[in-house]
A and B are shown apart, each in its own frame.
Chain A
Amino acid sequence: MKNNPSLVQSVQLLDSPDKLRNIGSAVVKEAIARAMIRKTKSGAARTGLQILKGEKVPESFKKAFNIRVDAHGAALENWPRLGAAQGDYFEVCYEDAGAGYCECWPDAPDFEQRITNISETRLQTLAGVAKDEIAKHFAPEEIKVLQAHGLVKI
């Protein structure tokens, strides 16, 4: 069977803004989870992500992590369980798993907004890459035909 991975990737990204967002958050989830596991295993977990028992858990955290909460959305236990200095940062940037650390403080008041905004920015970048890739394969009038079929959505 044929194999055209770069285009396949582009296509997945092109699908729809919602799907793009989901792909983005899946990347976020995975990057964060991997960072956490690594840090937890090495014993040097940083607590930028720490949620203390009784603290209200942000929506974005609830989506990304399996944190048990009560009826009011407050954490039922410290999470993660290894604690360290408050205000530290987590190492893997959710925008780009290979990009080193992230300066977004997860406990900053605008953390949730940052996730949304930055993800959107990131997605725009990815969509731009995908668009360029598509333009390499098809002429503008052909892209219109593909768009009419919902095969290209940007």
Chain B
Amino acid sequence: MSEASRLNDVSLILKCTRRCNFACSYCTDRRKSTRPLNFENLVHIIASTLERESAGNTTFIFHGGEPLTLGREYFQKLLDVETLCVPNPETIRNIIQTNASLIDDQWAAFFRRNHIQVGVSQDGPADVQDLQRRYANNRTTSSDVRRGVECLLRNEVGFGVLCVVTPAIMKKGAHELFDFFLRSGVTRVGFLPLRPSSAEFASPEERRAFYKQSARYAKFMGEMYKIWVDSGDTSIVIRELSNIMSTLLGGSSTTCVGSGPCVGRHFGVEPSGEVNHCDKFLTDERFSFGHIAEQPFSAILRSEALKRAQELEMGLRENCARCDWFTQCKGGCLYHAALFAGAGLQDRSEVCHLRPIYDLIDSDIRRRIGESVKLPNSSTVADHPMGSG
């Protein structure tokens, strides 16, 4: 794909509902308000995104809360609206991010029939899953989620798992996590660092705590990398590691993290219809672009607010200027850069969780190339274009 056409690609995380049947301990998304993204706003956002000038590819990521609580009819309508907008749907990609508890054969058939990719949020073995991810009524969720994952596997639905690397996960250790997913038949996994809920309002202590915990995350991922490459199993893709490997080998990242400037390419939409930069900045005024019903998406792309956010992004990414991996990593996740600002820390590369992983994989690749050892697959990753938790 050419750089020019890539520039016209956008992805939108649609927070279809804030309602969720789970109440995960670290969740920043769940709200009591149960009003979903209504049909009118849905039509506004879908139609005007697809009708934007020189539109390239468009990815819609349906997120929540738990999107499946809205029922299949909601998503069928949404697909119908897409069809009304673009008779040729080749340029549209639909992804649903779900906790998997509601997936049954009918849902799986629906995903398959409509070529919807699925991202499952799952925190590994039952004890960790049940510690961190419980139903709102406090019931455990692991067996229902396992059933949902099995259903996807049985129906051959393309899916990947996203796992938030909490202290409990790190305590479990990379080995157990890797074995768990391998045993479950999951072949595409992303490991997200745990993050504070707001880059705008986080206190300096919270920001520093994030970077402190980042070192543990890097250690965990380093262990995961060794287990992964030693397994020699090229069918497994660990998204963050695959992407780093890919960028080191001259390829590109499949997610926003590692793809450089993201403002203007990735958007988050609240159930109310408010549009922001990505879903990490939904409450952040600096990255807020107004209501979708008040302006077409093309106007948002040309807006002063977006330009200001892009300038802000450039400034924030400059914190990476001293890093050896900037060419490959392009400044990582903007949300993490925004957390760094105001943390009272000096050099981002000194505290960044990605740098040690780059160091590790780079030296390992060099060694293995020297020894002509085959590396795991680095090109086909879980493909959720929004890469950071």
Contact = CB atoms under 8 A, between A and B. Distances in A.
B72 interface: no
Interface stretch (A52-60, A83-91, A144-152): A144-152
A4 interface: yes
B126 interface: no
Interface in A7-65: 7-8, 11-12
Interface string B106-130: 0000000111100000000000000
A136 B12 CA distance: 28
B345 interface: no
Interface stretch (B39-47, B208-216, B240-248, B349-357): B39-47
A1 B115 contact: yes
Nearest to B87: A8
Interface string B56-86: 0000000000000000000011011111110
B115 A2 contact: yes
B194 interface: no
Contacts of B113: 2
A11 B84 contact: yes
B114 A2 contact: yes
Nearest to B88: A8
B84 A151 contact: yes
Contacts of B43: 145-146, 149, 151
A7 B84 contact: yes
Given A145-B40, A151-B43, A151-B47, A4 B77 contact: no
A138 B7 CA distance: 34
B90 A151 contact: no
B34 to A, nearest CB: 20
A3 B85 contact: no
A2 B77 contact: no
B377 interface: no
Sort chain A's interface into a size bin: 10 to 19
Chain B facing A: main interface SS: helix
B334 to A, nearest CB: 30
Interface residues of B, number: 24
B83 A11 contact: yes
A142 interface: yes
A151 B81 contact: yes
A139 B76 CA distance: 13
A69 B351 CA distance: 80
Nearest to B79: A2
Counting chain B CB atoms within 10 Å of each CB, which of A2, A11, A138 scores highest? A2
A137 B87 contact: no
B94 interface: yes
A149 B85 CA distance: 10
A105 to B, nearest CB: 37
B167 interface: no
Nearest to B48: A149
Counting chain A CB atoms within 10 Å of each CB, which of B43, B115, B116 scores highest? B43
B83 A7 contact: yes
A78 B225 CA distance: 79
Contacts of A8: 83, 87
A81 B89 CA distance: 44
B170 interface: no
Interface string A114-128: 000000000000000
13 contacts: A1-B93, A2-B79, A2-B92, A2-B114, A2-B116, A3-B115, A7-B83, A138-B80, A142-B77, A145-B43, A146-B43, A146-B81, A151-B85
Give the 3 A-B CB pairs with smallest separation, nearest first: A2-B114, A151-B84, A8-B87
